[in-house]
Chains A and B, each alone.
Chain A
Amino acid sequence: MTELKYEAPETVEAAVGLLAAGTQGAKIFAGGTDLLVQMREDLIEPEVLIDIKKIAEVRAITVGSDDIKIGAAVTGAELGEHAEVNALWPGVVEAMELIGSDQVQGRATMGGNLCNASPAADSVPALIAAAAKAVIAGSGGTREVPVEEIVTGPGQTSLGPDEFVVQIILPKPPTRAGDAYLRFIPRTEMDIAVVGAGVSLSLNDDGTCAAVRMALGAVAPTVVLVEAASDILVGKNLDDAVLDALASAASGVCNPIDDKRGTIEFRTKVAGVLARRVTTIAWQRAEKS
């Protein structure tokens, strides 16, 4: 067994250099709440841990005029305490805050939740609904990619071996906009989503829907965008017929597994129920904003 090395670069370039040098044996270390557990359980055996927490932009939240940049290693606790992000993207914050205990919240990061690539990751449906992008650094420079293009399958991402996520960018929402995230778990907290649903929408001056994005977690190998939501909701008011159509569309895109956490039939039905509820919450938030 090769000896594990720990590196803590202070710049993005230095981190990319270490990744490129270590290629397959290197792992990015942010909060460690997935990584260190996987090492403990011998699921992975990295040769180098590259701690990105000493890199300033990876640890910062920057609210600009057009967008909000959230460093990949900002913790759930830090995100939850940030008043502006809470006001603009409450659904993203509530999704991140559902992950683990308060102790885990002190360490767990949104960049890690994304790159761990679990189909049940709570923050990912909320980020995709919010049309978030990831800033990826690599040997060839940086690129911005929609969050839905990062995860390609359970535990798999589209990142190259010399790349890592530096920041997640949320757009500034339009006026009269709201987002929300809900998940179903058998307990009251501290569990993995059986189904997760995120929605982001905005309203026209006449109170009808201007735009909507809905994403579902834990019902397919990757988080799925419910493309039909736009056709169903845009230009409409929220009524029972629209909510029924949204629920059917959500259930219709499900391709879940059958396991001890939930059967295919159950997950498919619950996806529809959550689609109704989460849209209603986001709509109420948009009306109040």
Chain B
Amino acid sequence: MTKHNITATINGDETEFTCSAEQTLLDVLRGELQLTGTKNGCGTGDCGACTVIVNGRPVNSCLVLGAELDGANVETIEGMAKGGELHPLQQKFLDQAALQCGVCTPGILNMAKALLEKNPDPTETEIRFGLAGNLCRCTGYDKIIRAVMDVAAEMRASGS
């Protein structure tokens, strides 16, 4: 079977992996690189559980092929905490119990991070629309939205 040799930056580290043509980024992360923080939900781009950041944009990793990522920059949930310190979004989700089973959480955290980088002062409606591609079947949306709004307010106040 033809394998593609790919070198990509994953969470800041230059990483080499091999994959076949049909393997998605999600397959590569979970199966080849043991980065299992990214979750497999629907596999068809509907649920957002597998959301990661590729070249600065949030995408569903189930709809990206590993073979197309030579030279790409990929950020997953494993790279979100820096130096043992949780990202403010991660800390807020813990503090305010903005998760129940946790399967949707890595995708939602990546999506919320991308959303706040693009729009540091979002309205509740903008957050709800921005997270519309992330399904939570524990019905925890309200706490999730409030946690993101609170982090946005704190990050603006601290100027970060």
Mask for A26-66, Cβ within 8 A of B = 1, else 0?
00010111001101110000000101010000000000000
Chain B contact surface mostly: mixed
Interfacial chain B residues near A103, Cβ < 8 Å: 45, 48, 51, 58-60, 111, 133
Q: Say yes or no: A190-B1 contact (C-beta < 8 A), given A37-B63, A40-B43, A107-B64.
A: no
Interface residues of B in 103-137 (CB under 8 A from A): 111, 114-115, 129-130, 132-134
Interfacial chain B residues near A4, Cβ < 8 Å: 20-22
Cβ-defined contact, B63 with A51, below 8 A: no
Number of interface residues of A (CB under 8 A): 28
A6 at interface by CB-CB < 8 Å? yes
Interfacial chain B residues near A190, Cβ < 8 Å: 132-133
B1, B68, B111: the one within 8 Å of A51 (CB) = B68
Number of interface residues of B (CB under 8 A): 31
Interfacial chain B residues near A8, Cβ < 8 Å: 67-68
Mask for B22-61, Cβ within 8 A of A = 1, else 0?
1010000000000000000001110010010010011110
Cβ-defined contact, B20 with A41, below 8 A: no
Cβ-defined contact, B48 with A49, below 8 A: no
Greatest chain B CB density within 10 A among A107, A189, A190 is at A107
Greatest chain B CB density within 10 A among A33, A39, A75 is at A33
Q: How far is the CA of A33 from the CA of B44 in the complex (A)?
A: 8
Shortest C-beta distance, B125 to chain A (Å), equals: 10
Interface residues of B in 85-115 (CB under 8 A from A): 111, 114-115
Q: Which residues of B contact A (CB under 8 A)?
A: 1-2, 4, 20-22, 24, 43-45, 48, 51, 54, 57-60, 62-65, 67-68, 111, 114-115, 129-130, 132-134
Q: What are the 6 A-B residue pairs with the smallest beta carbon separation, nearest first?
A: A101-B133, A6-B21, A106-B57, A6-B67, A4-B21, A106-B59
Q: Which residues of A contact B (CB under 8 A)?
A: 3-6, 8, 29, 31-33, 36-37, 39-41, 49, 51, 53, 75, 77, 100-104, 106-107, 189-190
Given known contacts A5-B2, A37-B45, A51-B67, what 12 new A-B pairs fall within 8 Å (CB)?
A: A3-B1, A32-B64, A32-B65, A33-B45, A36-B62, A101-B45, A101-B134, A102-B58, A106-B57, A107-B59, A107-B60, A190-B132
